[in-house]
């Protein structure tokens, strides 16, 4: 069964550094998402992406964040200058349509020191 994959599984970085989290969505899906879950809190929507542009973003997704689909398979989330409060589990998800089931990857745990 096809699945969403994410790399790395765990990333440790220093405050102020740039990080790129990578995702490979399910191949025939058209909609891509990033969510995050700070330890002990609920899963929060960050951004959705369709047709090579952002469809919707939350207020969390400020100018420090960007997303890109650099080729036909990868979907990346970049944080330009990480802060301590960016420490969280980041989940990528994909879906065939905009109100179809979203399938989640295993997550990348980002730790900012």
Partner 1 sequence: AQSVTQPDIHITVSEGASLELRCNYSYGATPYLFWYVQSPGQGLQLLLKYFSGDTLVQGIKGFEAEFKRSQSSFNLRKPSVHWSDAAEYFCAVDDYKLSFGAGTTVTVRA
Where do contacts with partner 1 occur on this chain (CB under 8 A)?
A: 33, 35, 41-45, 48, 55-56, 91, 93, 98-99, 101-107
Q: Does residue 111 sit in helix, strand or coil? A: strand
Distance of closest approach, residue 6 Cβ to partner 1, in angstroms: 8
Q: Strands 10-13 and 108-112: what pairing?
A: parallel
Q: Which is nearer to partner 1, 74 or 81 (CB)?
A: 74
CA dist., res. 61 & res. 57, Å (int): 6
Nearer to partner 1, 37 or 76 (CB): 37
Task: Output the smallest distance, CB 45 to partner 1, in A.
Answer: 5
**Greatest CA separation for the chain:** 39
């Amino acid at each position: 069964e096809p699945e969403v994959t994410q790399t790395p599984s765990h990333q440790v970085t220093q405050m102020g550094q740039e990080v790129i989290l990578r995702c490979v969505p399910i191949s025939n899906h058209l909609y891509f998402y990033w969510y995050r879950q700070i330890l002990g809190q609920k899963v929060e929507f960050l951004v959705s992406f369709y047709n090579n542009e952002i469809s919707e973003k939350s207020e969390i997704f400020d100018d420090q964040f960007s997303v890109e689909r650099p080729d036909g398979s990868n979907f990346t989330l970049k944080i330009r200058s990480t802060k301590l409060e960016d420490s969280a589990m980041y989940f990528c998800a994909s879906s065939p349509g905009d109100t179809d089931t979203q399938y989640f990857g295993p997550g990348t745990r980002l730790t900012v020191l």
